Structures are given as C-alpha cells and as structure tokens.
Amino acid sequence: MPEPRPDPLRVAFVPGVTPGKWERIWRERRPRGRLDLTPMMQDAALAALAEGTAHMALLRDVAADEERHAIVLYREAPVVVTPKGSLVAGLDDLTLAELTALDEVTVLPVDLHSGSGDDAVELVAANVGVAVMPQSVARAHSRKDVVARPLADAPDTAISLVWPTAGAHPLVDEFIGIVRGRTANSSR
C-alpha cells in the first residue's frame, strides 16, 4: 500500500535562519514529499502557526507553552553592526560596557519580530549609529559600508523549531528528526 500523501509540510522561518541543509535532507529522504519553506517576520510566522497556514516555524527566542512545542536547535552569537571606518569597526570585539562607554555611539533599536534588521543596517550605513543583532541577521544584511564585530557579553539568541501542541501535521516528527540530525535509519 502506498504511503499516504498529506498536504505539504509548511515551515516558516525568520530572517537569518537558513533551512537549506534541512530541506536538502528532506528531499533526499522524501523525493515525492513536499516541503514548503516560507521566509516570514517573527510576528507573521507566529500568526501563521496560530492560523494553521504554517505547520512549523524556525523562530527566535520562543519557549514551549500550552499552545506550542519548541525545541532549541542552536544559539546565535550577538554582534555590533557599525559603519566601516568607525571607532567600533577598528576593534576585534567588545563588551556591552565598552560599547555604552563610547558616548558618541548611538545604539539603534532592532526589531526582529516585525522587521528583518534591514532598516537598522540602513541607518548604520548612513552613520546614524550602531546596531546589536544576531550574527546571522547581520550576515544576511551585509554590505560593503558596514562591518560586524562580536559583542562578547550580550545575550545570545535561541533558534527554535516551533509547532502547535494541537493538531500537528503528520510529518512533524519526520522534520524534527531531520533538524535534530537523526539518520534515515535511526529511531526515536
């Protein structure tokens, strides 16, 4: 009897997260199975989970609760994005205390829930200030006129795979196995 073919597994992911490796493994293991990956802002991805238009999502700093399961997959280091040629750009790395001690430096707000960080990088490039963000977001918005420097003691960011506690898609467990590095022959 052929395997049942549920609707495609729809997975949202936030800026900076690169699910390509997991997609490649999915396609190797399920050549006829569909995996739809959709980039979204965090707030939109949470709404898509709640509405059922996404079955799972790769999100920042979301903990499990009564409505959602969450598995932390990895943690991202924070960086300071600064104009090339600035005082901060000349440093190899710095601490939050060193950053705040630089009176002439304005730390710009970065809203990764409804924005991608792109607006903050634009302002940094215009020499308005610096921005603190996860390294992957800085890498996704890299430009020739800005640089990213490690911020040694700032909080890191957890990237989690999140899905609803009720009504999970039948292929959720298979995708969890892939992101956790299980082989095709391993069992839970």
Which pTM value belongs to this model? 0.89
Are 138 and 83 found together in one domain? yes
Into how many domains does the chain fold?
A: 2
Partners of 120 in the β-ladder: none
The answer to whether residue 3 sits within a structural domain is no
**pLDDT tens digits, residue range 48-84?**
999 999 999 999 999 999 999 999 999 999 999 999 9
HSE-CB for 32 with a 13 A CA cutoff: 5
> Dihedrals φ, ψ of 42, to 5°?
-55, -50
| Same domain, yes or no: 44 and 106 | no
Domain range for residue 33? 9-73+158-179
Q: Are residue 47 and residue 110 in the same domain, yes or no?
A: no
- Report yes or no on 49 lying in a domain: yes
Same domain, 139 and 111: yes
Examine residue 51 and state whether it is found in any structural domain, yes or no.
yes
Query: What is the pLDDT at residue 5?
Result: 57
**Strand 130-134 to 157-164 pairing:** unpaired
Say which CATH number the domain at 67 has: 3.40.190.10
In a domain? residue 171: yes
**Does 186 reside within a domain?**
no
Per-residue pLDDT of 79-115, as tens digits, reads 999 999 998 999 998 999 999 888 768 888 898 888 8
Give the integer Cα–Cα distance in Å for 43 and 115. 9
Same structural domain, 82 and 138: yes
Average pLDDT over residues 15-32: 92
Residue 185 belongs to some domain of the structure: no
Say which DSSP state 51 is in.
Answer: H
pLDDT at 1: 44
Residue 12: strand pairing partners: 38, 57
Q: Find the mean pLDDT for residues 155-170.
A: 95
For position 32, what pLDDT does the model report? 82
**19, 47: one domain:** yes
8-state DSSP, 8: P
Q: Classify residue 87: in a domain, yes or no.
A: yes
Beta-bridge mates of residue 164: 68
Is the model's pLDDT at 4 over the cut of 70?
no
Same domain, 99 and 113: yes
Q: Which of 120, 137, 136 is nearest to 128 (CA)?
A: 120
| 14 lies in the same domain as 65 | yes
Q: Looking at the structure, do residues 39 and 66 belong to the same domain, yes or no?
A: yes
